[in-house]
Structure 1
């Protein structure tokens, strides 16, 4: 399960895999109470690792997106400075707006990952108490 969590690419996949693992913990704990703490420890470390991987990926993407946005903005300034034709300027502004929209969407995704994780951990603690 640890490998499966580490390879998850969406928060939904992490939560789905986690719920399957939680069911396995419940089944095993009916027979062996000492296994419970070991399984929960594995679960929590795997889940934390997968969430950190997702957040790290999101942060790396946003960093690269921000750099690209700066490059595109500098290009737009160069177009204006050079007095390049209006058509090229308009196309470039459209590209910058589209890219800005994608960056905003990605930052919202990173926020959703974090919120989903916090909500899921709250539910987990309620189930286990």
Structure 2
């Protein structure tokens, strides 16, 4: 149970702090890097920007909510699943594999940061 609560706290904090703690310039740099790594077309880029804007908006609302940590974690998982589904519709198979690899890398980096704090 303690391990589950730690994971919940980690995911919630990571999700809630992602869009809030970084300056806009850093976020824009990450988006450019994202586009390059995924080799997005102009049309895909616009759609991905829209998906990410909606995702960050939902994360902001989640952070501001008065829900319990468990409820926030569940809602975060739903938000993440929605984003993944939308991304899968926009990206081709190879791009989606790369997207999943990038997500796994980001998750790993967040875990390392949490352990070092």
* More relative contact order, 1 or 2 (CA 8 Å, 6+ apart): 2
- TM-score calculated relative to the size of structure 2: 0.41
